[in-house]
């Protein structure tokens, strides 16, 4: 197979994961103001599960599918579209945060464990009790997982340029 100078994969998986009353909804708010969204945002387990699949597992799947091709390049790039809301500061679950930020001990299994734990707590309505975000919970958890996965593959493939970015807010179907 030919060796190409540059190949780039841009992963822009995104799913809102919410049923939104668009007339009342104007912006994402911080967890301290979650009570303001009580009649505006409805988070369901089904949407949370869909959100995690789209934002994390599909991003990971596309990346894994393209890695053999990218390895043929002299200058491979992977850009995972993440979010400001994927920062670990939005997750108060100290164990989950420790697993996701420990680059040296990070594995795909640990990322999966965190997401399964999140979904279990979501299903059992234990998000707040266990330190998960109260608002747009699945979005924040799944984008934090994308960021962790990006760090993991950047460590596995140091010869590639691998990043996750927050593109800012712009008009899309999701927003």
Angle between helices 94-101 and 137-156 (to 10 degrees): 30
**From start to end of the chain, where are the E strands?**
6-11, 19-20, 41-42, 75-81, 161-165
Which of 45, 57, 139, 149 is labelled catalytic?
A: 139
φ, ψ of residue 15 in degrees (nearest 5): -140, 130
| Distance in angstroms (rounded) separating the CA atoms of residues 39 and 115 | 26
| 56 classed as catalytic | no
| Distance in angstroms (rounded) separating the CA atoms of residues 74 and 39 | 52
Helix (H), strand (E) at residue 19: strand 19-20
**Residues labelled catalytic:** 139
């Amino acid at each position: 197979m030919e060796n190409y100078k540059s190949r780039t994969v841009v992963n822009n998986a995104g799913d809102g994961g919410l049923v939104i009353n668009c007339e009342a909804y104007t912006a994402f708010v911080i967890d301290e103001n979650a009570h303001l969204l009580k009649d505006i945002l409805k988070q369901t387990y089904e949407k949370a599960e869909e959100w995690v699949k789209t934002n994390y597992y599909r991003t990971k799947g596309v990346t894994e599918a393209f890695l053999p091709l990218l390895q043929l390049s002299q200058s491979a790039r992977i850009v995972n579209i993440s979010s400001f809301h994927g920062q670990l500061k939005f997750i108060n679950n100290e164990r989950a945060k420790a697993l996701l930020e420990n680059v040296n001990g990070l594995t795909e299994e640990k990322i999966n464990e965190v997401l399964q734990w999140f979904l279990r707590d979501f299903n059992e309505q234990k998000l707040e009790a266990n330190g998960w975000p109260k608002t747009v919970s699945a979005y924040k958890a799944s984008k934090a997982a994308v960021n962790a996965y990006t760090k993991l593959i950047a460590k596995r493939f140091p010869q590639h340029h691998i990043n996750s970015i927050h593109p800012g807010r712009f008009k899309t179907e999701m927003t």
